[in-house]
Amino acid sequence: FQATGADQAVGFGLVGFSLLLFTYYTIWVIVLPFVDSDHVIHSYFLPREYSVILPGVAALILLLCVGTFIGVVTWKNRKPKKID
């Protein structure tokens, strides 16, 4: 049996998104330094510092989400101590 409907949509969506991200980021980091600074393509990209700051911020947000999730689940599962 073939994978169906939603599975394929989500799966190929992820593939497409990561390809887009890879292409944009590769042009930003690897191609732009070798392009003349007055070429029009530079207007589509933020200053170079952001190519390091933005992934850093994204990683921090991800860590925050994971930590919050763990905290919420731990809090929900706390049980009162038994009195013997």
Partner 1 sequence: MTKLLEWLLGCSLIGMAWGLVTFDLLDLQLPPQYRELAWPMPVYLLVVFGCYSLATVGYRVATFNDCEDAAKELQAQIKEAKADLKKKGLKM
Q: In residues, how long is the chain?
A: 84
Q: Which is nearer to partner 1, 19 or 41 (CB)?
A: 19
For residue 25, give the nearest of 1, 53, 4, 51 by alpha carbon: 51
Binding range to partner 1, per CB under 8 A, among 30-38, 39-47, 64-72, 74-82? 30-38
Number of residues located near partner 1, criterion CB under 8 A: 28
- Name which position in 15, 63, 66, 70 contacts partner 1 (CB under 8 A): 15
What distance in Å separates the CA atoms of residue 1 and residue 12, rounded to the nearest whole number? 18
Our finding on whether 37 is near partner 1 (CB under 8 A) is no
Shortest Å distance, C-beta 32 to partner 1: 8
Question: In one letter, which amino acid is 68?
Answer: T
